[in-house]
Structure 1
Amino acid sequence: MGRVLSPRGALTLHEVDGALLFAVRAALAMGLVAVPIVPAGRPDLAVYAMLGSFTTTFCRNLPYARRAPVLALAAAAMTACVGSGSALAV
């Protein structure tokens, strides 16, 4: 655990295994759905596009049984970040 959290490990360059392609696919998946939804007056539905893009990004190599908890954790973290930002804005 210490090796993972050390600054030396965080600043080390690693090989990329196609992560840029998955990030672009995630951005397109989110943008193609969220951009028309917001002008249509339903920005509350854009969160589902974001969760779908998180599935593409974070769960690409996981079996379906393992994807659900990982996506639930990503959704909880995103909700906590949005809630914290809203609380700070107030």
Structure 2
Amino acid sequence: MINIYNDWYLLRDENDENSSDLKAKLSEFNKQYEEVMKIKAVYKRDVALASIMTKMEGEFKISLLNHDEWQRNNPEIGALYRKISFSRSN
């Protein structure tokens, strides 16, 4: 059991680790996005973008039912997800 008074730094380190893990995952998804945007064929690019979005939905548990609440709690993830979504042709 963690003693908040003596072990507060353990909580901070865990949050820092989660934050850096999130940033690493977002960076990887953004790299995939950048590569996909180089695809000239619109249909192939759209399919690849949809695939990235599906992977993000699974990885980050993106909720389309409670989207507004989810968006408020996950602004960085939501921003990348929207960027990918808006990049599709249709």
The answer to whether TM tops 0.5 is no
Select the structure with the greater relative contact order (CA < 8 A; seq sep ≥ 6). 2
Structure number with bigger Rg? 2
* TM interval, short-chain normalised: 0.3 to 0.5
The alignment's TM-score, normalised by the length of structure 2, stands at: 0.38
